[in-house]
Amino acid sequence: MTEIPKEEYLFKCTSACAGCSSSLVLRYVLKAAGPDTVLVMPACCTSVIQGIYPNTAMNVPVYNVAFAAAAACASGMSAAFRAAKKSTNVIVYAGDGGTVDIGIQALSGAFERRTDFLYICYDNEAYGNTGMQRSGATPTGARTTTTPGGKPDTKKDIDRIVEAHDPPYMATACSAYPHDLFKKVTKALSIRGPKFIHVLAPCPPGWRYPTEQTVEMGKLAVKTGMWVLFEREYGKVTINGPSRAAMIKPLPVEEYLGPQGRFKGISREAVDALVSLARRNAKRLSLEEEGVC
Amino acid sequence: MRQRLAVSKPMVGACGETGSWRVFRPVVDREKCNQCGLCEMYCPDQAINEEFEVDLGFCKGCGICANECPKKAIAMVREEK
Whether the predicted pLDDT of A147 surpasses 90 = yes
In chain A, residues with a C-beta closer than 8 Å to the C-beta of B6 are 53
**pLDDT recorded at residue A12:** 87
Can you spell out the DSSP letters for A39-63?
EEE-SSHHHHSS-STTEESBSS-EE
A241-260 pLDDT, tens digit per residue, is: 899 999 999 999 999 999 99
Any chain A CB within 8 A of the CB of B12? Answer: yes
A158-186 pLDDT, tens digit per residue, is: 999 999 999 999 999 999 999 999 999 99
ipTM of the complex: 0.91
Q: Do B16 and A10 touch (CB under 8 A)?
A: no
Residue B2 Cα, gap to closest chain A Cα (Å)? 17
A53-102 pLDDT, tens digit per residue, is: 889 999 999 999 999 999 999 999 999 999 999 999 999 999 999 999 99
Any chain B CB within 8 A of the CB of A199? Answer: no
A206-251 pLDDT, tens digit per residue, is: 999 999 999 999 999 999 999 999 999 998 999 998 999 999 999 9
Whether the predicted pLDDT of A136 surpasses 60 = yes
Rounded distance between C-alpha atoms, residue A84 and residue A90, angstroms:
14
**What backbone torsions phi and psi does residue A213 show, to the nearest 5 degrees?**
-95, 10
Question: For helices A21-33 and A178-189, what crossing angle results, to 10°?
Answer: 40
CA angle A181, A57, A104 (to 5 degrees): 55
Is pTM beyond 0.90 here? yes
| C-alpha torsion sign, points A228, A230, A232, A238 | negative
Q: From the candidates B25, B39, B45, which should be mutated to test the interface with A, based on the most A CB atoms within 10 A?
A: B45
Q: From the candidates A9, A10, A13, A15, which should be mutated to test the interface with B, based on the most B CB atoms within 10 A?
A: A13
Domains of chain A (ranges, CATH numbers): 21-290 (3.40.50.970)
Can you spell out the DSSP letters for B49-67?
-TT--B-TTT-----HHHH
User: Which residues in chain A (157-196) have CB-CB distances under 8 A to chain B?
Assistant: 178
**pLDDT recorded at residue B1:** 55
Any chain B CB within 8 A of the CB of A15? Answer: yes
In chain B, residues with a C-beta closer than 8 Å to the C-beta of A63 are none
Q: Which CATH number fits domain B18-78: 3.30.830.10, 3.30.70.20, 2.60.40.10, 3.40.50.300?
A: 3.30.70.20
| C-alpha torsion sign, points A29, A34, A35, A40 | negative
